[in-house]
Amino acid sequence: MNQRIIFHIDVNSAYLSWEAVYRLQHGDKVDLRTIPSVVGGDQESRHGIVLAKSLPAKQYNIQTGESLYAVRQRCPQLVVVPPRYDLYVQCSAALIRLLEEYSPRIQIFSIDECFLDFTNMEGLFGDPVEAAHNIKERIKKELGFTVNIGISNNKLLAKMGSDLQKPDKVHTLFPEEIPEKMWPLPVSKLYMVGRATAPKLHQMGIYTIRDLAKTDPELLKHKFKSFGRLMWNFANGIEDSPIRAGDLINVKGIGNSTTIAFDVEDRRTAHMILLSLTETVATRLRNAKFCAGLVSVSIKTNEFFSYSHQRKLYTPTDCTMTIYKAACKLFDEAWQGQKIRHLGVRVSELCGNDFIQLSMLDKENENKKILDGVIDNIRIKYGSRSIIRSCFLNSGLKPLTGGVMEEDYQMMTSIL
């Protein structure tokens, strides 16, 4: 049996690139990719965040997720264009159609990246590295944008490989190349090690992926529970999830929010509303076969002052209670005691739920997953109000259903 060959294809600055190509095709003289520019909101608005940025914009230390108001202070000449999700879905679909010429086994990981199983395709398309270069050049010539392609024997290393150097590159990262290419990288570069986890690893004297790979996995498990073992596996290139062809939808985030009929003045009531919102979000997350790596909470006061707070999770999840606990903690940190009229919960940084769960589930997580599945099945069969949490019984509040956030609604109606 031949060794698996997996490609990870990642569009360089996807939203920005797709906007630039579309505008050039329709008569624009300036390529957005060559000037300081971002996708993220109305040019006349002071609101919104950066969704994608050009390489020249990076010179101003503009980060994805920053507010447009803040980045304009550093770069007054910044060109801001609003997102057009219908265009991005079309571009993503065109990319998949091209890739399907090289393999029937393609797994969409997000709207701008996917995995392709190239195993046993050498007889048709030649050496994997040569084939990857041919694919990359075809995408550039026929579709107008550039991609990075990582090549390895599993999805983790292929994804890590595609990130080694950008843009418009092909990289291999096979197991024998890990010590040279991956281990010297900062531990924060390892997939799933985010802003919250990296400082904790630094406190343990772990600064590089090599340090993590050489750490006693039992020590990591003691410190981080099942996520510690998962990080150790990833640092050593261990990951074996299969390519699941064509079963993920192109969604960047899932959210739910509500305008409350009365002013909320206490933490307990706010937490109950967050629970109801989270149940809807987590159910949709599981139905879409995603896990989320980022949770955010938005608050609007009775005086229409809005603010939000977000945090990366230790590991992506689709568990209702894990997301709810994160939402409550974010709310407690952000709320300044004002009367609340509107609350929202949103999850993003989505990934396929098979890529992480095979390695991370301990007994507690497995029990939560079973419980969530049972609740989902009852509500699907008998209705959303057929089973509710006991905390709502005498609260005077009703569990919420539906009510996606405005930006999610605009996106999802163009996608689904």
**CA angle in degrees (0–180, nearest 5) for 345-298-312:** 65
Is residue 254 within 8 Å of residue 281, measured between CB atoms? yes
Token pair listed for 44? 């006349």
DSSP code, position 3 = P
- 80's enclosing H/E stretch is strand 79-81
Tokens in use for 173? Answer: 């990262």
**Is 112 within 8 Å of 14 (Cβ atoms)?**
yes
Q: How far apart are CA 1 and CA 8, in angstroms?
A: 22
CB 37 within 8 A of CB 24: no
In sequence order, what are the beta bridge partners of 307?
A: 299
Token reading at 182: 């991956």
**Which ranges of 173-239 does DSSP label H, i.e. alpha helix?**
197-203, 209-214, 217-224, 226-235
Q: Which pair of tokens denotes residue 177? A: 């190349």
Peptide bond into 167 cis (omega under 30): yes
Cα dihedral: 93, 95, 100, 101 (round 10): 130
> How far is the C-alpha of 296 from the C-alpha of 279, rounded, in Å?
14
The β-bridge partners of 256 are 345
Please identify every residue annotated as catalytic: 113
